[in-house]
Amino acid sequence: MMTGRPILKNSAWTWTALLAEVLLLAACSSRPLTVRAPVEDRTQGASRSASGANDTAGSGVAVNPSAATIKPLPGAENAGKPGYYTVKPGDTLIRIGLDNGHNWRDIARWNNLENPNTIEVGQVLRVIPPGAVVNENGVITRPVGSTAVNPVTVAPTPVPPPAPSNAATAKPANPAPVLTETEEPAFSWPLANGSKSPVLASFEEGKNKGIDLGGQAGDPVLAVADGRVVYAGSGLRGYGNLIILKHNETYLTAYAHSQKILVKEDQTVRKGQKIAEMGNTDADRVMLHFEVRKQGKPVDPTRYLPAR
């Protein structure tokens, strides 16, 4: 008769059980792992200077001091208001002026821009004259009594002595045009051959903002109405050498791709005056791209030009 524990020889199960028991004892007696889950310090007023953040309210929410002191972009308080424009990527002051029907220099002045070339995405710009408002129809109006329009004081004109009957009546060689705010100008065609110019591309909403007229390099480009040059240069991508004329507070016209510009900014021009020579700057062929803008919005030029 055997009195001790039975000895099981050559048993795989026995060795497996013994090994498991040894590992269990080792796990119970060994030190725990030192890798710990992140712990957020929620102590009142705790500071985490190493990361540059702190919890000023003791709420456990890390606040970046630099983010808390970021200043809003200029004009942010006017975002979305009528008469204001939020700068988008790719914008230039010239394009903003064209799209809103104003001289880019005026917009720079209305917004006190020290450097017009450094407008920022998200910046909000005034795009109507100070004192003017936009009514429910989107038309810019000036309130009665507004100080935005300086009254013109006319001095009494002395009565001249009678002129001899054979004297010619003296007239200014190029009197400045009178620009009313909303009157629709009587436009003429912008090329010397008028309505005979071939139309290479017609106005198409959202695609072509004007009409493209064919011709020969050097053909004269003409002002379609009295006005003032508010832009003359090549700073607007896609237009090449560009001239923008302001006819009144409502209408602008644009003349693109010229090979030579013959006028300067702020110059007064008369209807039919040669302002440029036809070319192909920033275009794949010789053409005149001509636009009419009504309060900055592109409209079909053929609605304003004489019938073909």
Highest mean pLDDT out of 16-20, 102-106, 186-190: 186-190
Alpha carbons 153 and 148: distance in angstroms, whole number: 15
Between 47 and 196, the higher pLDDT residue: 196
Alpha carbons 237 and 34: distance in angstroms, whole number: 62
Question: What is the predicted pLDDT for the residue at 193?
Answer: 86
Enter the pTM of the model.
0.64
Q: What is the rounded average pLDDT of the residues 217-227? A: 97
% pLDDT > 90, the chain: 52
Domain ranges of the chain: 76-131, 194-303
Between 152 and 103, the higher pLDDT residue: 103
Question: What is the predicted pLDDT for the residue at 159?
Answer: 40
What confidence category does residue 194 fall into, taking pLDDT thresholds of 50, 70 and 90?
A: confident
CB 270, CB 179: distance < 8 Å:
no
**Helix locations, the chain, DSSP H:** 12-29, 65-68, 93-100, 104-110
What confidence category does residue 286 fall into, taking pLDDT thresholds of 50, 70 and 90?
A: very high
DSSP 121-148: TT-EEE-S-TT-EE-TTS-EE--TT-TT
Q: What is the rounded average pLDDT of the residues 278-288? A: 97
Residues 6+ apart with CB under 8 A from 259: 217, 218, 241, 276, 277, 278, 279, 280, 281
**Helix locations, 101-239, DSSP H:** 104-110
Question: What is the predicted pLDDT for the residue at 95?
Answer: 94
Largest CA distance in the chain: 164
Q: What is the rounded average pLDDT of the residues 38-62? A: 41
What confidence category does residue 260 fall into, taking pLDDT thresholds of 50, 70 and 90?
A: very high
What confidence category does residue 48 fall into, taking pLDDT thresholds of 50, 70 and 90?
A: very low
Question: What is the predicted pLDDT for the residue at 172?
Answer: 41
CA atoms within 13 A on the CB side of 209: 17
* Superfamily the domain 194-303 falls into: Glucose Permease (Domain IIA) (2.70.70.10)
Q: Does residue 62 come out as left (phi exceeding 0), alpha (psi in the -120 to 50 range) or beta?
A: beta
Alpha carbons 156 and 99: distance in angstroms, whole number: 41
% pLDDT > 70, the chain: 62
Alpha carbons 42 and 178: distance in angstroms, whole number: 71
Instruction: List, for residues 138-189, the tens digit of each pLDDT value.
Output: 666 654 433 333 333 333 334 444 444 443 434 444 554 555 566 889 999 9
pLDDT over 80 at 7, yes or no: no
Token pair for residue 282?
């920033």
At the topology level, CATH places domain 76-131 in Membrane-bound Lytic Murein Transglycosylase D; Chain A (3.10.350)
